[in-house]
Structure 1
Amino acid sequence: MNIASFIARRLVFQRNQSFSRFIIRLSAAATAISVAVMILAFAFVEGFQYTVSSKVFSFWGHLRVQQQQSSVSGLAEELPVEKNDTVYNSLKAHPNVKLVDAFATKSAMLKTSETIEGVLLKGVDKQFSKERLQPFMQEGKWLEFDDSVQNNQIVISTYTAKQINAKVGDRILIYFIDNNSTAPRVRPVMVSGIYKTGIEEYDKTFAIIDMNLIRRLNGWSNTQIGGYEVTLNDYRTDYKTNNELLDELPVVWFSTPLREIYPNIFDWLALQSTNKTVILIIMCIVAVINLISCLIILVLERSRMIGLLKATGATNSQVQVIFWNQALIIAVVGLTLGTLLGLGICWLQQATGFIKLDESAYYVSTAPVRVLWWQVLLINVVTFVVSFLILFIPSLLVRKMSPVKALRFE
């Protein structure tokens, strides 16, 4: 029988009311709260990064491949390029490429009888992977493509719909500025659907139409496009994949990661990783200081017991092991309770979404949660290992206590 472990368990799980029992419970609770906070911080940060980046990538893909244009912003209208089977097949052949969709953009004004609103039209064709944008549809339906008739449908954002006071089924006018004409050209369209991404840069800017309308207005042929949107299997390898694709593309083609086009969003997401690391360090320090303080108090309160054990022949090391076991039991109980508490709150948030957010500021209306089990394990292992290493400090007090003074200690 392990005497040190037996005594430690008796001290931790004693039933009588005492100051040491209160300290043990307080220490276990503080450790549990620290672990729960770390799990929640990791889960919420991971949820933010995954959800927001998924929204950004769903609308535009991970890479944008188009003809090289000097001194042109990422949201400007593109120069027309011919659909290129060599380029398309080269993109699709890459093992990390999931989808390749053609697109084109054009600036326009949407007008109703009451007001007018500027937008950037995003043209897509019938091969476009609509499942990318389907989760954002709030009302109505996606564009219907029929080669035999002219498609006069448009999908607008909830923001644009509110600005021009339009709803599904309404007919609105699109005004296009033509550089070769003094008067704008007008095209009537019907609102087939309304979308909402929650990302202000998208909702305030884009409306989606059939690419053929852009082709007719720009005088392009039926085989000309603005470029390709490339969706990857693993977004974390976007820069690596982009460099690999650049080596395969013709000279006049260029590929750009979306993270370079919208750096403000991704810089904000990267900042969350820094916050996550800071929280992990702070909570580890809190848990360690808590265990050290607890062990010092327990050692001082059990001075008479220490003196008695030494007087009956126990060595310093044997007495130290008692308090190590005691502190480790407290740490394990705290880690277990903290893990259950943290995961429980995460599950509750996933089930109910009770934590609400300002969507205009955070891009989501409820705090997203994404639990990665390796992160939960990392939190527990790091906290346990650091606590175990630090426990040596307060246990040194045991070596400095003489049996005579300890037995007289009040």
Structure 2
Amino acid sequence: MNFPFFIARKYFLSGKKKNFINVISIISMVVVAIGTMCLIIALSVFNGLEGLLRSMYGHFDPDIVVTPHTGKSFDFDSTYVQNIRQTAGVAGVSEVVEDNVLVQYKDAQRLVRMKGVSRDFDQYSGIKNVMVSGQFPLVRDSIGYALIGRGVQYDLSLSLKNDFYTLQMYYPKDIAPGVVNPTRMYNLLNIIPGGIFAIEKYYDDNYVFVPVEFAKNLLNYGDRLSAFDIYLTEGANAKMVKKAIQSSLGDKFDVRLGEELHSDLYKVLKVEKLFVFLILVAIIGIASINIFFSLTMLVIEKKKDISVLFAQGASTQLIRNIFLYEGCIVAFTGAAIGLVLGVSLSLLQEHFGLVGMGMDSAVVNSYPVEIVFSDVLFTVIAIIIITLLASIKPAIKAGKSFSTHTLQ
């Protein structure tokens, strides 16, 4: 006949030192709660930062990019575009000509990254969502315009309201020996500034978009291109489309997802997130040492009471379960409180922006957060493992003590 568990636990936890042990347990519970809360908030912030980066780069980068395997340009073939457009999930294809050029506006000059794009860019690109002034379409009434990053605008002191000045673009020619006339050493074309975009500092400080025909003329590309930017239909499987395009184009081209262009940055974020997770789990593990000590003290104090419980019908397994149960109560109560606080604070930050970035020039006003279920799940699993590790040793010791009193 097994001794009722709840009666055994009540009897087992009575005594003079009960209050002292309870204080240690409460301290352990508070520390576990704080650690769990910090873990949820930290992981949510990393998720928010990753989501923010994907959102920013998503305005600039296409869904899929096709570039030549060797060199920086390739000869255009209409069959390439046909094969891409016939691939299931493809919504549009933009021809791209891209290179570094020198731009001049009035007396100001600087190097920029010029990106010439075709008409599909106007329809599918997310640049239209980050325009801060001017108009988006690159070609209006058969006239080509330039879309300029806000950083480039500041450096050139460019004004869209001034119609008397155009943006002058220079690109060096293939210079033959004996050429002494400086004007024959470069190509020069003028284009009207049409709009200003603002995404992220690197793009804002470097990029200028122009019609692809203008870029071809400036660079003397003829029928050559630098890349194809591919935009997918909503709900399309990007990895499957990438695989299909790579198969149709062959080994002469590299096909990459838009997010793969920044794979190193995303890897760094994931590694940092992993280390933060491990560090905070280690802190929770250190806090659980208090659980170990409180249960061990309980074992030492209750050696005589164990034999009494045995005489009343308690088993070795019951004694061990009491200790495991006590450790779980402390850890899981702290974890539950920490989860509630962490998720609540993350939701408040997400909807109300309680903690700001502290910079006027920041991309967002407050720290971005995003709660991911897998983070909560891994946190719970980690706490379960830590609790079992902290409680199992005192439970085993209690069982041995039980066996000793049984022999006596």
Which TM-score applies when normalising by structure 2?
0.77
Which amino acid in 2 is paired with 1:81?
F
User: Take 1:121 and 1:207, find their aligned partners in 2: how far apart are those partners?
Assistant: 5
Question: Aligned AA for 1:208?
Answer: F
For 1:44-73, what per-residue CA distance to the aligned partner results, in whole angstroms no more than 9, with x for missing partners? 223333332443344222532144433x4x
Measured after TM superposition, the shift of residue 280 of structure 1 is 6.3
What is the deviation of 1:393? 0.9
Check if 1:166 corresponds to 2:158.
yes
Q: Is the 8 A contact 2:59 2:199 kept in 1?
A: no
Alignment length (residue pairs) = 390
Q: 1:191, 1:243 → 2: CA distance?
A: 37
Structure 1 gap ranges (5+) = 73-77, 406-410
Q: Which residue is 2:177 aligned to?
A: none
CA distance in 1, matches of 2:385, 2:27: 21
* Residue pairs, 1:1-400, within 5 angstroms: 3-5=4-6, 8=9, 18-70=19-71, 72=72, 78-79=73-74, 81-82=76-77, 84=78, 86-94=79-87, 100-128=93-121, 129-146=123-140, 148-151=141-144, 153-170=145-162, 171-179=165-173, 181-198=184-201, 200=202, 202-218=203-219, 225-231=225-231, 238=239, 242-249=242-249, 252-256=252-256, 262=262, 264-276=264-276, 278-279=278-279, 281-283=281-283, 285-286=285-286, 288-300=288-300, 306=306, 309-310=309-310, 312=312, 314-357=314-357, 366-388=366-388, 390-400=390-400
Q: What amino acid maps onto 1:145 in structure 2?
A: V
Percent identical among aligned pairs is: 16
State the alpha-carbon separation in 1 of the partners of residues 18 and 315 from structure 2.
29
Structure 2 equivalent of residue 408 of structure 1: none
Is the 8 Å Cα contact of residues 65 and 229 (structure 2) preserved in structure 1?
A: yes
SS at match of 2:167: strand
CA spacing shift, 1:9–1:17, aligned 2, 3 Å = closer
| Aligned equivalents of 2:14, 2:333: Cα separation in 1 | 11
> Using a 3 Å threshold, how does the CA distance of structure 1 residues 389 and 268 change in structure 2: closer, same or farther?
closer
Instruction: Report SS of the residue matched to 1:107.
Output: strand
Query: Taking structure 1 as the reference length, what is the TM-score of the superposition?
Result: 0.77
Q: How far, CA to CA, are the matches of 1:13 and 1:380 in structure 2?
A: 31
How far 1:127 sits from its partner (Å)?
A: 1.9
Shift of 1:337: 0.8
Instruction: Report the aligned-residue RMSD.
Output: 4.1
CA contact (8 A) 2:89 2:236 kept: no
CA deviation profile, 1:195-238 (whole Å, cap 9, x unmatched): 2224x2x23321112223223434566x8654311356799975
The superposition leaves residues 64-95 of structure 1 with CA deviations (integer Å, 9 ceiling, x where unpaired) of 2144433x4xxxxx34524x2x4334334555
| Secondary structure, counterpart of 2:143 in structure 1 | coil
Q: 1: distance between equivalents of 2:146 and 2:190?
A: 11
Between 1:167-176 and 1:94-103, the stretch displaced more is 94-103
Q: Is the Cα contact below 8 Å between 1:143 and 1:209 reproduced in 2?
A: no
- Structure 2 regions of 5+ residues with no counterpart? 175-183
Residue type of the partner of 2:170?
Answer: F
Q: Are the aligned partners of 1:68 and 1:253 in contact in 2 as well (CA < 8 Å)? A: yes
